[in-house]
Amino acid sequence: MKRILVTGAAGQVGSELVPALRQRYGTDNVLATDIRPAEGALSEDGPFKLVDCTDRDALDLAVVDFASDTIYHLAAILSAVGEADPLKAYAVNLGGLANTLEVARTRDCAVFIPSSIAAFGPSTPPDPTPQDTIQRPTTMYGVTKVAGELLADYYSLRYGVDTRGVRYPGLISYLAPPGGGTTDYAVEIFYEAVREGRYTCFLEPDTQLDMMYMPDAVRASIEVMEADPSMLKHRNAFNIAAMQFTPDSLAQAIRRHVPGFIMEYQVDPLRQRIAESWPRRLDDTAAREEWGWAPEYDLEALVADMLVNLRKKLAPVGD
Ligand code: NAD
Ligand code: AKB
């Protein structure tokens, strides 16, 4: 049975990936870690430890104490927050990854490393974006993501570390809030649709981005780590895709469930510029061919499931 340590586990992805890993590999075999205390199930239902991934000794100790053979390295600073403090994003995203890879090398662990659509930039072909193409991102977050992809490849080639990863699109979920990215509007809109019946969007109505519902992202993260290594021509940074939409088409889909939903726009120039530099649609042929990737949720299924679950979550106590 695997022994898995998850960094950055209290965030949007970890809040759903950790329970899925615990269900699959056993609660006691998955140690959730983060720099901040976790709330609810993450720390109540299984082991949790405070670990700062920029502190290599602390990370090493946690891996040794838990006898981990696998690390899911989720700790990161996302795009919009990263532009507010680029050097912090550099230190956490690249420093934390370098520490994780060194610990994995010396303690013989496999590592899951998430990259992002942010690893691409304005000179990348946007629709579709090939698996292997130009990567000249213009955010610090993107710079750390493309460098992280290369570092993961390097540790695999140079030291034989079993590094694997996917490029997540913008992720949509109802359990934990997003951590300060450019795609956050696609989560906020659902909360405001349920609470207020209206939302003011910070991206322009026709800004198309690649997006995915969290259950698909969680499944992809587990499936790529379980894939037959002899089938993998790539190891890291697989494009994965499920759906593409714009703020306007998402609002229309929500309106089919929330009649009268009002969408207004107050564009944030920073996040608009970032969004315009990212792919409109990823070509995920390599993931489909090499490890059988296939999404389950399209836009209609996502919207229906988000609204059902958020209505339950936001219902007044006693309802
Ligand atoms: P998040 O911001 O929600 O969570 C990141 C977590 O990392 C937070 O809980 C934070 O406390 C923790 N953290 C920050 N600094 C740390 C440190 N020094 N040591 C340990 N933990 C630290 O992010 P997320 O959405 O859960 O993202 C997880 C991974 O997926 C990241 O690598 C991110 O780049 C990638 N990703 C996410 C999305 C998305 O839409 N959520 C899309 C593409 C890629
Ligand atoms: C962000 O918007 O920064 C993230 C991402 C796409 O990596 N959601």
Q: Is the pLDDT of residue 317 over 80?
A: no
Q: What is the pLDDT of residues 76-90, one digit of tens each?
A: 999 999 999 999 999
Say if ligand 2 is within 6 A of residue 79 CB: yes
pLDDT of residue 50: 97
Rounded Cα–Cα distance for residues 313 and 316 (Å): 9
Strand duo 70-73 + 110-112: pairing: parallel
Strand partners, 254: none
Nearest atom, ligand 1, residue 36 CA: 11
182 CB within 6 A, ligand 2: yes
* pTM summary value: 0.98
- Separation of CA 72 and ligand 2 centre (Å): 18
> What is the 68 CA–ligand 2 centroid distance (Å)?
28
Q: Is the pLDDT of residue 319 over 80?
A: no
pLDDT value of position 93: 98
Which pLDDT does position 171 carry in this prediction?
Answer: 98
169 CA closest ligand 2 atom index: 6
Question: Relative to the CA of 182, which ligand 2 atom is closest?
Answer: 2
Q: What percent of the chain has pLDDT over 90?
A: 96
Whether residue 148 has its Cβ less than 6 Å from ligand 1: no
Report the chain's mean pLDDT, rounded to a whole number.
97
Closest ligand 1 atom to residue 179 Cα is 2
pLDDT in tens, 256-309: 999 999 999 999 999 999 999 999 999 999 999 999 999 999 999 999 999 999
Q: How far is the CA of 80 from the centre of ligand 2 (A)?
A: 8
126 Cβ partners below 8 Å, 6+ apart?
A: 120, 278, 279, 280, 281
> What pLDDT shows up at residue 66?
98
Rounded Cα distance between 135 and 143, Å, is 9
Q: Which residue has a Cα nearest atom 7 of ligand 2?
A: 116
| Residue 44 pLDDT grade (very low, low, confident, very high; cuts 50, 70, 90) | confident
Strand partners, 282: 129
Question: Is the per-residue pLDDT at 39 higher than 90?
Answer: no
Residues serving a catalytic function are: 141
Residue 20: pLDDT band by 50, 70, 90 thresholds?
A: very high
Cβ burial of 316 (10 Å; 0-12, 13-18, 19+) is exposed
- Residue 110 has what pLDDT? 98
**Residues 231, 294, 9, 52: is their CA dihedral positive or negative?**
positive
Query: Given the structure tokens 């698909």, which residue do they identify?
Result: 216
pLDDT above 90 for 318: no
Ligand 2 lined by 181 (C-beta under 6 Å): yes
> Given this model, what pLDDT does residue 101 score?
98
- Mutation test residue for ligand 2: of 141, 146, 149, 276, the one with most atoms within 8 Å of CB: 141
**HSE toward the beta carbon, residue 246, CA cutoff 13 A:** 11
* Mean pLDDT, range 108-133, rounded to an integer: 98
Q: How far is CA 311 from CA 1, 25, 196, 211, 277, in A?
A: 37, 31, 12, 22, 34
Rounded Cα–Cα distance for residues 98 and 246 (Å): 35
93, two tokens: 């995203």
Task: Tally Cβ neighbours within 10 Å of residue 23.
Answer: 10
Rounded Cα distance between 23 and 2, Å, is 12
